[in-house]
Structure formats: structure tokens, C-alpha cells
């Protein structure tokens, strides 16, 4: 079975490898990593990343938001989990905290959905209620703009993968541009 294809700009991939040398080999166990090339899908992803150019994803180590393109079955589907090779109920310890190994959440209101803003930041409900304690106004504005930009492209989904290093989570926030092609941003959470 073929893994989902994750396209990353080559210089960003090199930057990620330098910054997160143990995470990147693990990521390639679940996704087929490819070099992103110019085209409409990458242009849409770059547009979202540009809105977040001065924002870092805050965790124990801050990370910028990188444009990416995913070619895959619907990430919320059983076919996606099978292609990644992770059972829906698989769990994994990240710095001693129990997590789903792979979590996929659709953006929106209602059960099992979260706002796009929450998928970008990975903040919990109680943190979102006190957002100004966690995110300063310029970043808040940029994150809201990126959330609106993703929603304008298509249905949004958030993917969080616990990588095998035991400290990293890869976070993808993507909009479905066309069937099977998702564009948006990726970042890394480090929890030590």
C-alpha cells in the first residue's frame, strides 16, 4: 500500500531536518515525502503560510508554519489510516503524556469538530476561552486570517501525528483544494 504523499519545499525540508533531526526520519515512515514544486496547489499553500510568516507555533520549541501539499484519501477515512499504517485507536506516549498516535479532526462546529483556529494552534477549549493569555494580538490576527484563508479554499482538516522520537508531534492544517489534494501548513510541536 502506498503512503499518502506529503510535499514540502526542499529548503524547508532541509530546515526541518536540521531543527528536528529525529522527527523527520520518523515522518517518512508514515508519509511518502516529496519535494514540492511550483504549481497551483503549492501556490495556495504558500499563500496560507505567508499569512503566518511572522507567527511561530508555540510549544517547548517554537516552530514556524511551512507550506505543504498532501495527496491522500480523505484524512478522516479508514483508507487514510490504513495508508499511513496506524490503527485508529493506536496510542503513543509523548514525553510521558498519553496521546492518540494519529488524530484527525475536521474543522467546524459540533461533535468531534474544532474551529480551524484551534487546529492551527492546537490550543484546548479552556485555552481558547482565555486566548489573549496565550497569543498576542498580531499573531491572533494572522492566525484568524490563515483560518479564514483555509476555509475559503475548502473543507478544513487537522492532522496530528506523534512521531517515533517520543517528543514530537507533526501538525498539519489543510484545506481540500480538489478531491484528494489538500493544501495548507505544517508545523511541529515539541513536548519535553
Q: How far apart are CA 120 and CA 16, in angstroms?
A: 18
Interval 128-142: pLDDT, tens: 788 878 788 888 899
> Which residue, among 47, 37, 6, 49, has the nearest Cα to 24 in the 3D structure?
6
* 121-175 pLDDT tens trace: 887 787 778 887 878 888 889 999 999 999 999 999 999 999 999 999 999 999 9
Q: Which helix (H) or strand (E) holds 103?
A: strand 102-107
Please tell me the distance from the alpha carbon of residue 66 to that of residue 111, in angstroms, as a whole number: 29
Domain ranges of the chain: 5-187
Tens-place pLDDT, residues 68-119: 999 999 999 999 999 999 999 999 999 888 999 999 999 998 888 999 989 9
What is the crossing angle of helices 137-153 and 40-51, to 10°? Answer: 160
CA distance 21 to 118: 27
**Least confident among 1-15, 49-63, 122-136:** 122-136
Amino acid at each position: 500500500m502506498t503512503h499518502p504523499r506529503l510535499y514540502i519545499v526542499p529548503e524547508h525540508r532541509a530546515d526541518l531536518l536540521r531543527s528536528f533531526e529525529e522527527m523527520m526520519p520518523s515522518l517518512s515512515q508514515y508519509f511518502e515525502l516529496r519535494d514540492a514544486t511550483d504549481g497551483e496547489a503549492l501556490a495556495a499553500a504558500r499563500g496560507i503560510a505567508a499569512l503566518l510568516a511572522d507567527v511561530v507555533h508555540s510549544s517547548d520549541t517554537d516552530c514556524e508554519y511551512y507550506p505543504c501539499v498532501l495527496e491522500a484519501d480523505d484524512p478522516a477515512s479508514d483508507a487514510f489510516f490504513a495508508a499511513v499504517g496506524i490503527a485508529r485507536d493506536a496510542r503513543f506516549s509523548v514525553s510521558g503524556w498519553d496521546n492518540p498516535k494519529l488524530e484527525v479532526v475536521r474543522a467546524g462546529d459540533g461533535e468531534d469538530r474544532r474551529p480551524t483556529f484551534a487546529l492551527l494552534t492546537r490550543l484546548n477549549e479552556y485555552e481558547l476561552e482565555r486566548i489573549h493569555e496565550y497569543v498576542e494580538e498580531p499573531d491572533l490576527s494572522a492566525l484568524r486570517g490563515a483560518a479564514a484563508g483555509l476555509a475559503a479554499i475548502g473543507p478544513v482538516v487537522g492532522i496530528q501525528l506523534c512521531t517515533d522520537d517520543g517528543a514530537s508531534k507533526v501538525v498539519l492544517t489543510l484545506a481540500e483544494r480538489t478531491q484528494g489534494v489538500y493544501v495548507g501548513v505544517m508545523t511541529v510541536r515539541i513536548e519535553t
